[in-house]
Amino acid sequence: MTHFTLTVATSRDGFISRTTNEPPQDWASAEEQELFFRDVEAADWAIMGRNTHQAADKPHRRRIIFSSKVSGWQRPTQLWLDPAGLTECDLAGAVADVYRMEKVLILGGTRVHDWFLAHRAIHKVHLTIEPVTFGQGLPVFSAQTSNDPAAVFRQAGFEVSSETVLNGAGTRYLELVAE
C-alpha cells in the first residue's frame, strides 16, 4: 500500500506562500529546510502542482505534476497528469514502470492539498509553522476557515501526534495523523 505524507511549511497565520511562484526557502528556516530535504530523500515520489514544480524545478527528481494542460512524461522521471477522474490508488500504477511508489510526499500547493484531502488520502502530515505573518496569500486548503495552521488540520480530520520547537525564533514542528 502506498503511504502518503503531506509536508508543508506555513506562516503563523495559515498561509503556504504569499504568491504562486515564491519558493518556501525564501522565508522558511534552515531547520525547516533540513527536515524538508530529509522527507524528500526518504520518498519514492513527490506529487505537486505545476506552480510548485516550476518554483523549484529539479529535473532529475521523481515527480508527478498535476496539470489540466500538460500530460505525459515530460522528462524520464517526471509525469504530468490531470487527476480528474482518478483516485490516489491509480497513481502508483501510472509510474510503476519507472520506480516503485510506496512512500509519497505531497508537496502542494493548495489545490493539490485539496485533491488529497477530498480523497481522504493523506495519512500523515509534517507541519512546520514559521514565526512570520503574511496577512494574505495561498491557504493550506481552499476551504479553511481558521488562520491557525494547527486548527486547520484538526478541522480537516487530523490529530497532533508530536510537537517540538525547532529553534530560538520559535519555529514549531508538528506531526499529525489522520483520525
Ligand X SMILES: NC(=O)c1ccc[n+]([C@@H]2O[C@H](COP(=O)([O-])OP(=O)(O)OC[C@H]3O[C@@H](n4cnc5c(N)ncnc54)[C@H](OP(=O)(O)O)[C@@H]3O)[C@@H](O)[C@H]2O)c1
Give 100 or 131: the residue with its C-beta nearer to ligand X: 131
| Residue 135 CB, nearest approach to ligand X (Å) | 16
Query: Could you report how far apart the first and last alpha carbons of the chain are, in Å?
Result: 18
What count of residues does the chain have? 179
Binding site for ligand X (CB under 6 A): 8-9, 16-17, 19-24, 48-52, 55, 66-70, 82-83, 107-112, 115, 138
Task: For residue 117, give the nearest of 156, 91, 143 by alpha carbon.
Answer: 156
| Residue 140 CB, nearest approach to ligand X (Å) | 9
Give 14 or 108: the residue with its C-beta nearer to ligand X: 108
Nearest-angstrom CA–CA distance, 91 and 115: 13
Residue with cell 519507472: 98
Which three three-digit cell numbers place residue 62? Answer: 521523481
Phi, psi dihedrals of residue 94, rounded to the nearest 5°: -65, -25
| Residue 173 CB, nearest approach to ligand X (Å) | 13
Give 21 or 145: the residue with its C-beta nearer to ligand X: 21
| Residue 102 CB, nearest approach to ligand X (Å) | 22
Give 36 or 95: the residue with its C-beta nearer to ligand X: 36
